[in-house]
Amino acid sequence: MSLNLSYNIWFFIGGVLLLTAFSLWVYRSTIPPVNPFYRRVLLVSRILSLLCILFLVFEPQLQFRLEKIQKPVVEVLVDNSASMNLKDDQSTRAQHAREALQILSQNDNLRLNADVTYSVFSDTIGPIDVEEIDSLVFNRDGTNLGLALNESKLSNQEKRVAATILLSDGATNLGDDPITVIENFQSPVYSVIVGQEPKASDIWFNEIITNEIAYAGMKIPVDVYVRSRGFAGQQTGLEIYQGSKSIAKKELTLPADGLEKKVTIYIVPENLGKQKFTARLRPLNDELVPENNQRAFYLNVLKSKLKIYLIAAAPSQDVAFVRQALSRDENFSVEQTVSINATILAGDKLPDEKRLKEIDCIIAMNFVRNRVPRALKSWLENAALKSEKPIMFMTGFVNSAQALWQYKDIIFLAQQPLISSEIFVKAALSENGFLHPIFKTNESTTDLATLIEQLPPVFSTIRKVQFQPNTTVLAYLVGSRTSQIPTNSKNSPMLAVSKSNQKRVVTILGDNLWRWHMLLQRRGEGNSFYSELITNSVRWLAARDESKLLNVQPAGDIFRSGQQINFTAQAYYDDYRARANLQISLQIAGPEKRELVFSEQGDGIYTSSPGILAAGDYTYKARAYDGVTEVSADSGKFSVVPLQWELQKTDVNISLLRKLAHTTDGRVTTIDSLEILMSALQLNAQRTEEIKKIRIWQYWLVLLILLLLLSIEWFMRKQKGML
């Protein structure tokens, strides 16, 4: 320890002498006179006060030299994945790991000469106290050895690491290749082999590939990739289950060790919606892990064909062309009824209530006329208003405002329209029209505005139509000489879409739209804009799932046991604008139950994280509120499967463990040799010298002493009347 001053020490000594002499001269005598003892106390107080001030002026610093002995760090990485519970001989790999941990904790060289830290890893990594090692259960699904090594490298950048001891079977199945991560590693890696080279026989699924979407009643292929060890040439059975019901089965011959066999099996899904299926391999005798003989997957099953009913109050060319456009799509099943006159109906019989429930979409044409058969009109009103079926309403020729107004409840008219003589008009899209899926056709992907401008004019008698607020106009009627929207064009809608709860309506106000198809066919053979406009309208009407204003999805259909589960929600207004400031709740039901609230991220996006759930099948229900009013909801299902990854790669990967050790100049060892290797490990402490400076003049205690000395002198002088 030493004391340093900011200025020359001789100046300080001179100051001390001068201040001491000054104090002696001041107190050589006092007025009034005081006894010698009292005068000496005053003198000492004055000298100390002045010297304290002088001491502060010279900015004194105390300097200490501290010698530190820093032990090197030895990090132990413990594999906590489920593959460690596999038995290679008489003991499991986890038992070998616990034996190795006991050797490390009792090794004198490590205990006395190193700071030993422990971390456990699987699909994640985290520190653990040595006292908690006995509580490890080795049940996590997934081994990300690359992540463990990379996190070790990042967390120890500022430390002197002498060795990284890896207790693992090397069966990594997630993340980056550990060999690429190990470059420029901070220390040698000592790989402790827990387990033995593969001896036991096993079969397992490597991958299952199929379409995410299937159609009910239609055959769909499922490609299953199977691997085996020790069962080359033997027979086993593959079955696909939906719940507890077997829906497909096939025998297969297992491949040779190290090879993969692709097996295609066909299933016919029946139930609609998101459906869970399970592929299972028949277990064989002496198989190492029968639990990896099954794998789950999900399919979104849709109706095989949309049932469309075309009903026309009179025949026309538009009816024929719409029927032709629908017949081009093999996923449409079309029935039609056309009124020839007031008493004769051609085509199919009007559907009864039972058949009406099976219909996905109704196309009503040419109903805006004075003489519509009562049976057709009554049937349409019942289907639209009572059964709330989606309807595409094509007016055809309109010669009476009253004739159109009578359907106000079906197409959501707000007031009676204005009618005039028939003229040529063209179509012009609104801003919403350019964004709506109805106009997303193959022909419109290049330049939709140019395509609309090239459409030939159609006929219309309508001059002014006003819809209710739940209706969005996608196209307007404009003069035939220009495609620019005039100032009053918003009074003349041509194509509008309406939504009310789950009911959807497409209204087309115009006649002779078949001219679009004919002219476009002449300009480009195969132009399908007209046909796709009709089919897109039908799909939009029938696709009720798309009408959801709240779309909530988990990050996947199937999660691994122990995997973090995250949800994303997207909220919309009726016109598909992102909707913010909603309160969205999430209820999860299954083996575990959770109730959560979504957090808003902006732009109508919300997130929630239920965390880790137990294995099993789950359903979820989300509700969105604006204040206290529920505005939309969504629901779905997902599954958490046990040991999805750990049962795929079960072999001890000694080759990888050797490469890790060799790349970092480390060693590969077994449990039997671990004690000798750790005792011989060079763990040299590092001695460092640290200089610590204390600036005395910055401490408040010095100022307090100075004030105390001055106060004592002032108090004593006042007592004797010397002020």
Categorize the per-residue pLDDT at 717 as very low, low, confident or very high, splitting at 50, 70 and 90: confident
* Domains assigned to the chain: 2-66+692-719 (no CATH), 72-198+651-684 (3.40.50.410), 202-302 (2.60.40.10), 306-542 (3.40.50.880), 548-641 (2.60.40.1930)
pLDDT tens profile 524-559: 545 678 888 898 888 888 865 444 778 898 988 888
Q: Which residue has the higher pLDDT, 233 or 47?
A: 233
Q: Which of 573, 520, 536 is nearest to 392 (CA)?
A: 536
pLDDT for residue 486: 41
pLDDT tens profile 453-510: 878 888 888 888 899 988 999 998 887 544 343 434 566 899 999 987 668 899 999 8
pLDDT at 605 over 60: yes
Whether the CB-CB separation of 586 and 636 falls below 8 Å is answered with: no
Handedness of CA 421, 422, 424, 427 (dihedral sign): positive
pLDDT tens profile 663-677: 999 999 988 888 998
pLDDT at 366 over 50: yes
Average pLDDT across the chain, whole number: 84
Count of C-beta atoms within a 10 Å radius of residue 469: 9
- Residue 288, classed as helix, strand or coil, is coil
pTM for the predicted model, two decimal places: 0.52
Q: Which residue has the higher pLDDT, 20 or 508?
A: 508
b/e sequence 590-611, b meaning 16+ C-beta within 10 Å: beeebebebebeeebebebebe
Residue 202: burial class (beta carbons within 10 Å; 0-12, 13-18, 19+): buried
Q: Which residues contact 157 (CB under 8 A, 6 or more apart)?
A: 186
Strand 2-4 vs strand 667-669: parallel, antiparallel, or unpaired? unpaired
- Residue 568, classed as helix, strand or coil, is strand
pLDDT at 427 over 90: no
pLDDT for residue 525: 47
pLDDT for residue 699: 75
Categorize the per-residue pLDDT at 446 as very low, low, confident or very high, splitting at 50, 70 and 90: low
pLDDT tens profile 611-654: 888 888 999 999 999 988 888 899 999 998 876 666 666 778 88
DSSP string, 539-559: HHHH-GGGG-SEEEEES-SEE
pLDDT tens profile 138-192: 888 778 888 999 888 888 888 888 899 999 988 887 878 888 888 778 789 999 9
Radius of gyration, alpha carbons of the chain:
43
How much of the chain exceeds pLDDT 90, in percent? 26
Whether the CB-CB separation of 148 and 191 falls below 8 Å is answered with: no
DSSP string, 100-167: HHHHHHH-HHHHHH-EEEEEEESSSEEEE-GGGGGG----BS---HHHHHHHHHHHTTTS-EEEEEEE
Partners of residue 691 on adjacent β-strands = 65
Please give the Cα distance from 255 to 252 (Å, whole number): 9
pLDDT for residue 455: 82
Give me the mean pLDDT over the 268-283 stretch: 89
pLDDT for residue 423: 83
